[in-house]
Amino acid sequence: MGRRNLVVATVTVASLGLAGCSTVSSTSSSSGSGSSAAKGPFTIGISNGFVGSEYRTQMVQDMQDAAKPYQDAGELKQLVLENQDTDVNGQIQQVRNLIKARVNAIIVDPNSGSALDAVFKEATSAGIKVYAIDQAVTEKSVTNVGIDQGKWAETSATWLAQQLGSGKKVVAVNGISGHPANEARWGAAKKVFDAAGIQVLTTADGGWDQAKGQQAMANLLATYPDINGVWTQDGMAQGVLKALVAAKKQSSIVTTGEARNGFMRLWSQQGKAFKSVGVVNPPGTGATALHLAMAELKGGKIDPAKLTDGHSVVLDLEPAITPENFTAEWDKVKDKPDTYVLDSILTKDEVAGLLAK
């Protein structure tokens, strides 16, 4: 996969939350049709239905940064941002707004793996290219671009199972029940624990929010005194560890972590005996999709051999952060803010390698 980029998000969560629909451009007009080799400059729409995390903030900033060279070259007219906390129905409206704006392509971080299929079909039937990032959707006319969320979860769950051994008891602090990424992740992690003979006492939602994750973990500690381990997702691991530290149980309970600076900083403060793992979930997937969208709008086509299930570009996972490489990886990013998410973006040239010759 492409180089790990040390990108610091400069767009605040507050500003994103206020931007229901905005443009990033020197002009407010759209370029029109979404044909496979339309004449540029092009317009790309972004649909994001969850703005309450540093991950999504960095994701949008990565796309804006990736768009700038195309804008400077006159190839991309503008980005149209549909960007606010909303449910599936609200995101359907976001996509319809982008269709009405006559964008050439839409990059969407979907709130559902299937409930948006009809509106995606509306877009692609209108000649608009649609790319789903962060989690896959079932609509075959959409190109999924992202890591395998199941393998992402399997990596940390396997590490935890190896640390604990058969017969031990764990709890899970998940993201949002029903969300496609959450379901793919927990489904994969649960299979690992079942195969390893590890008992899952219960699960709780932390909403991919550090404060909610911390409260969820505190509640679990009060309810289950015999916890041996915690499996949690990114966006909550720092909060989970804070709860363990507050209860003075960070040494007796093994927890998975996240490849984010806030967690890694707290990890660095626990001493050499502390062990955890962080698996990179790159917000730069959106920027990779933007490079792919521009390549296809200019007439390129993805090599069918590079697709999984006919419509998915599955990106390789970056090496996980482990006790063995923690010091070296932390030294690379420790000067970044706690909100920084370890990132990876395919370059324009690397994306060209996905295209048919």
273-299 pLDDT, tens per residue? 999 999 999 999 999 999 999 999 999
Indicate if the pLDDT at residue 10 is higher than 70.
no
For residue 132, the model assigns a pLDDT of 99
Question: How many Cβ atoms from other residues are within 10 Å of residue 197's Cβ?
Answer: 12
Weakest-pLDDT range from 24-28, 51-55, 100-104: 24-28
Indicate if the pLDDT at residue 32 is higher than 50.
no
Dihedral angle computed from the Cα positions of residues 238, 218, 17 and 34, in that order, rounded to the nearest 10 degrees: 70
Residue % of the chain over a pLDDT of 90: 87
Q: How confident is the model at residue 37 (pLDDT cuts 50, 70, 90)?
A: low
Averaged pLDDT, 111-133: 98
Indicate if the pLDDT at residue 187 is higher than 60.
yes
Q: How confident is the model at residue 39 (pLDDT cuts 50, 70, 90)?
A: confident
Which residues are 132's β-sheet partners? 108, 144
Q: How confident is the model at residue 57 (pLDDT cuts 50, 70, 90)?
A: very high
For residue 52, the model assigns a pLDDT of 79
Which of these CATH numbers, 3.40.190.10, 1.20.1250.20, 3.40.50.2300, 3.90.1150.50, describes 13-141+282-317+337-352?
3.40.50.2300
Distance CA 333, CA 12 (A): 20
Indicate if the pLDDT at residue 35 is higher than 80.
no
Two structure tokens written together for 119: 């509106």
The pTM of this model reads 0.88
For residue 24, the model assigns a pLDDT of 43
Q: How confident is the model at residue 12 (pLDDT cuts 50, 70, 90)?
A: very low
Averaged pLDDT, 171-199: 97
28 neighbors 82 (Cβ within 8 angstroms): no
Weakest-pLDDT range from 4-13, 121-130, 313-322: 4-13
For residue 14, the model assigns a pLDDT of 29
Averaged pLDDT, 223-246: 98
For residue 13, the model assigns a pLDDT of 30
CATH architecture of 149-268: 3-Layer(aba) Sandwich (3.40)
First CA to last CA across the chain, in angstroms? 20
Indicate if the pLDDT at residue 59 is higher than 50.
yes
Indicate if the pLDDT at residue 129 is higher than 60.
yes
Distance CA 81, CA 78 (A): 10
Two structure tokens written together for 281: 């979930």
221 neighbors 240 (Cβ within 8 angstroms): no
For residue 7, the model assigns a pLDDT of 39
CA-derived radius of gyration, the chain: 20
Mean model confidence pLDDT for the chain: 91
Averaged pLDDT, 142-147: 98
Backbone phi, then psi, for 34, in 5-degree steps?
A: -115, 35
Report the Cα 197 to chain-centroid distance in Å. Answer: 30
Question: How many Cβ atoms from other residues are within 10 Å of residue 179's Cβ?
Answer: 20
Instruction: Kindly state the helix (H) or strand (E) to which residue 29 belongs, with its residue range.
Output: none
Delimiting residues of CATH 3.40.50.2300 domain(s) in the chain: 13-141+282-317+337-352, 149-268
For residue 38, the model assigns a pLDDT of 67
Indicate if the pLDDT at residue 268 is higher than 50.
yes
